[in-house]
């Protein structure tokens, strides 16, 4: 059954509907006429000017997906400015700036969007935005500095009766490290938030409490902690050690999903802190790295399903859980689809958490790090078959020249590599997939007419070294590659983490050291879990210099959407192009070079009989893609 928004051409949630399916029944733009898609309007946010005098540009990523309410698009910028524009013309209606201090050391500088509450009797969700009872709808945003802000949807002014002067301090009583990078979720009269944490710095980060607030007053209604603190909780014993229950994180930094009819909230949790050492938290660490179903109205846990036991790989559930109705023998089954960085896809019964496809617990390698106890098995879905890289050998070494390939072979040979759950080690372990591999925050989309899941994935191995804290300086002086690697201090543990990737950076830019493809777009039939097709997504090496580069794919961030016009729209790749693919075959039907890279998920809507497709094009500082401040709408002219 299609949601109201999918049927009438609206887009009122980050993921189109509250279950994140990112499907639209619109088909004015379709596989027959998409070649005629042209720019309808362009809006400039002015965001880059806000970074002047700071180092924000190096971390900033424009990852926002606008939502459509009435005739207005609402979006957020990396610095949490909220902007309302006319959806037909791109003309600015208002801007709200929460004045986030960009001089602070934010782990990420991004905001993926905002959420809307329609107000009872107020402006209808899919209507013209008029207010019928004097109570306007509200726009909610969570900020990098840990505030939950409510804005009048009509004026952009803070709602004075929400919290203090329109804001709730999410850090109060929890910790100064709490940030928000994903939109809140609104259900009934509750606005619900998880949190984002830079969780490799120390052991005792704030715990990833999920909280629900009253949409009018900002009063806390309930909270749920993914790290059990009550010995009566059956999961309490899965955290072992004198400091285990002091572990931090296991937070939900991605988008939460809601099944309002069932009063269920689906929470995708992450690794406990720190990501790569669990000696202080032995055991399986239940509720971390899990999809958890909570009663949305009360926060009571209904069920949970753990996708990684005792995470040592930063295998957060980064994608929004996707709520779909799968046709099995003529009967619709409510399911929640969980996409993971491992490339594993779990399809679970929405009410019970039971898997609808076989899942096997398989043995995985033991840790060689003193004090660590890797969990002896991990869950592997039999169907759908795991996507992307599932381990690496020297045969996978690659380079554009024989000299590059030889260097890649030497490097791979020097590391431990025993499959997708190879634990970190002192000599360095290959994580294949890595922490940005598989299905990241880009997430998935779903075609309900054909029961197809579509997702873009990364195929990028990482290398993790665990160095005793007292020997880090000695190792760095002896090995330049260790010096360049990202450092996780992991304070409160005996080890410092060093993270690198199987790439080299020289005058040519990023040169991959594993064979392509490095990013693909995939379609899976959820009737039987079979793969329908898989194609490269974009390119990251210069096609003029490397003629086959367009077959190699690209590291990608930003998701895809699917429409009844048999089209898949996705940008995401490092080449800065926006593309439309044929849903049935994966063939590229339309390609547009954006003025800045599109590391965001697009959206589509219909207004005055015309269908628009919109993408935020602002680039990604950490990926070093072309940056800007564009919001671009396309239509058939």
Active site residues: 314
Strands 630-636 and 610-617: antiparallel
Q: Residue 169 and residue 361: Cα distance in Å, rounded?
A: 42
Residue 616: its H or E element: strand 610-617
CB-based burial of residue 18 (10 Å sphere; 0-12 exposed, 13-18 middle, 19+ buried)?
A: buried
Contact 192, 212 (CB under 8 A): yes
Q: How far is it, in rounded angstroms, from Cα 438 to Cα 443?
A: 10
Distance CA 100, CA 102 (A): 6
Distances (CA, A) of 520 to 31, 535, 552, 560, 605: 20, 5, 9, 12, 26
402, with CB counted inside 10 A (0-12, 13-18, 19+), is exposed
* Rounded Cα–Cα distance for residues 529 and 533 (Å): 12
| CB contact at 8 A, 328 and 278 | no
408: which residues sit within 8 A by CB, 6+ positions away? 397, 398, 399, 502, 513, 514
What's the angle, vertex CA 513, arms to CA 507 and CA 515, rounded to 5? 125
CA–CA dist 503, 399 (Å, integer): 10
Beta strand 495-501 with 577-582 is: unpaired
Asked if residue 210 lies in contact with residue 267, where contact means CB atoms within 8 angstroms, the answer is: yes
């Amino acid at each position: 059954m299609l949601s109201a928004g999918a049927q009438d051409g609206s887009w009122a949630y980050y993921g189109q509907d509250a279950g994140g399916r990112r499907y639209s029944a619109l088909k004015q733009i379709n596989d027959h006429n998409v070649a005629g898609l042209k720019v309808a309007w362009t809006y400039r946010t002015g965001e880059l000017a806000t970074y002047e005098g700071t180092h924000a540009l190096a971390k900033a990523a424009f990852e926002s997906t606008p939502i459509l309410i009435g005739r207005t698009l609402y979006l957020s910028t990396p610095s949490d400015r909220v902007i309302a524009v006319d959806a037909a013309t791109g003309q600015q209606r208002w801007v709200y700036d929460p004045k986030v201090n960009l001089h602070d050391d934010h782990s990420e500088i991004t905001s993926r969007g905002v959420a809307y509450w329609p107000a009872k009797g107020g402006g209808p969700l899919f209507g013209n935005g008029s207010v019928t009872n004097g109570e306007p709808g509200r726009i909610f945003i969570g900020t990098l500095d840990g505030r939950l802000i409510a804005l009048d949807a009509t004026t952009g002014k803070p709602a004075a009766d929400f919290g203090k002067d329109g804001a709730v301090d999410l850090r109060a009583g929890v910790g100064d490290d709490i940030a928000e990078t994903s939109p809140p979720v609104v259900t009934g009269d509750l606005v619900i938030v998880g949190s984002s944490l830079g969780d490799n710095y120390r052991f005792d980060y704030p715990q990833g409490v999920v909280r629900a607030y009253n949409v009018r007053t900002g009063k806390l209604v309930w909270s749920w902690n993914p790290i059990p603190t009550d010995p009566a909780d059956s999961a309490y014993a899965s955290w072992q050690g004198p400091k285990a229950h002091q572990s931090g994180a296991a937070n939900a930094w991605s988008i939460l999903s809601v099944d309002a009819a069932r009063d269920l909230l689906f929470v995708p949790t992450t690794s406990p802190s720190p990501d790569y050492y669990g000696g202080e938290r032995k055991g399986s660490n239940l509720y971390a790295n899990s999809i958890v179903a909570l009663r949305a109205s009360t926060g009571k846990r209904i069920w949970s399903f753990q996708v990684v036991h005792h995470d040592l790989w930063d295998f957060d559930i980064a994608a929004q859980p996707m709520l779909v109705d799968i046709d099995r023998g003529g009967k619709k089954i409510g399911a929640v689809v969980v996409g993971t960085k491992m490339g594993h896809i779990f399809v679970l019964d929405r009410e019970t958490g039971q898997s609808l496809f076989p899942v096997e617990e398989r043995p995985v390698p033991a840790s060689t790090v003193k004090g660590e106890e890797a969990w002896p098995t991990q869950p592997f879905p039999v169907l759908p078959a795991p996507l992307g890289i599932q381990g690496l050998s020297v045969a996978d070494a690659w380079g554009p020249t024989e000299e590059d390939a030889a260097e890649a072979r030497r490097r791979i040979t020097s590391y431990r590599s025993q499959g997708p759950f190879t634990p970190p080690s002192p000599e360095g372990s290959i994580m294949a997939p890595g922490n940005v591999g598989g299905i990241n925050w880009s997430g998935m989309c779903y075609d309900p007419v054909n029961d197809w899941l579509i997702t873009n994935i990364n195929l990028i191995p990482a290398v993790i070294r665990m160095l005793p804290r007292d020997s880090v300086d000695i190792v760095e002086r002896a090995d330049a590659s260790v010096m360049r690697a990202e450092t996780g201090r992991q304070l409160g543990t005996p080890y410092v983490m060093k993270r690198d990737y199987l790439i080299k950076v020289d005058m040519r830019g990023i040169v991959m050291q594993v064979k392509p493809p490095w990013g693909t777009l995939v379609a899976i039939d959820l009737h039987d879990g079979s793969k329908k097709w898989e194609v490269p997504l974009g390119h990251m090496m210069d096609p003029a210099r490397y003629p086959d580069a367009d077959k190699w794919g690209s590291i990608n961030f930003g998701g895809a959407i699917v429409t009844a016009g048999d089209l898949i729209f996705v940008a995401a790749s490092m080449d800065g192009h926006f593309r439309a693919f044929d849903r049935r075959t994966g063939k590229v039907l339309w390609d547009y070079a954006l003025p800045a890279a599109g590391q965001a998920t697009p959206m589509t809507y219909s207004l005055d009989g015309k269908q628009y497709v919109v993408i935020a094009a602002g680039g990604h500082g950490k990926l070093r893609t072309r940056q800007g401040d564009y919001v671009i709408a396309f239509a058939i002219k």
